[in-house]
Homo-oligomer: A and B are copies of this chain.
Amino acid sequence: MKTGMAENRDPRQVIIVAAKGLFARFGLGKTTMEDIARASNKAKSTLYYYFKSKEDVFTSVIMLEIAGLKAAIGQAVRSEDDPGDRFRVFVETRLKYFSKKTDQYISIREDYHKHHGLINDLLDDYSQWEIATIKRILEYGSAKGVFDVHDFVGVSRGLFLALKGLEYPWVVDISKNELEKSTAILLDILLKGVSRN
């Protein structure tokens, strides 16, 4: 039933997929409707048949992306029993997703402000979901006596913030290998700290 042709699919989906790649590489601002039209093999005005505006395309892309992230992370986390591994797998899955594209439009700041109405909610929602997920891991680990946490909310937020840094590997033009090494070290720090106990 499935053909290899992307063109046979739901045109909305075709556009979203094309736009996803462009947004990921160039961000919202730098990606033009012309670009999206070309990439999705449609006329520019056709995009407006399926989407209200460029912003509408963008939010659709983000929504899809977030759904994918949530599913992937949720599944990966549940596959581990050890709380430390659960956290580790959470971070790694997240990283795999983020590092797939050099740029992560989810984290584009400029766009965030230009279009804070819609995007803000999406991102906030996703962040809250991440924090909640971390919190669940912490509770799970505490129940198992592996983690030593009392302020679950605060610590979840702290870990969340620490992991946010992983979204910006570009700053020091790090290679995939080095990023993985840095991630492992960061995980280690977060679990054990740097102080001599």
The answer to the question of A37 belonging to the interface, with a C-beta cut-off of 8 Å to chain B, is no
A110 close to B107 (CB less than 8 A): no
The answer to the question of A147 belonging to the interface, with a C-beta cut-off of 8 Å to chain B, is yes
Please report the total number of A residues contacting B with Cβ < 8 Å. Answer: 65
Assembled-state Cα–Cα distance A166/B46 (Å):
41
Stretch in A11-19, A58-66, A123-131 touching the partner: A123-131
The answer to the question of A74 belonging to the interface, with a C-beta cut-off of 8 Å to chain B, is no
A171 close to B110 (CB less than 8 A): no
B194 close to A128 (CB less than 8 A): no
In this complex, which of A146, A190, A193 has the most chain B Cβ atoms within 10 angstroms of its Cβ? A193
Chain B residue nearest to A163 in the complex (CB): B165
A157 close to B172 (CB less than 8 A): yes
| A194/B29 contact (C-beta < 8 A), A110-B110, A189-B158 known | no
A155 close to B28 (CB less than 8 A): no
Assembled-state Cα–Cα distance A165/B173 (Å):
17
| A191/B182 contact (C-beta < 8 A), A110-B110, A157-B172 known | no
Q: Which residues of chain A have a CB within 8 Å of any CB of chain B? A: 25-30, 84, 103-104, 107-114, 120, 123-124, 127-128, 131, 138, 141, 145-149, 151, 154-155, 157-166, 168-173, 178, 181-183, 185-186, 188-197
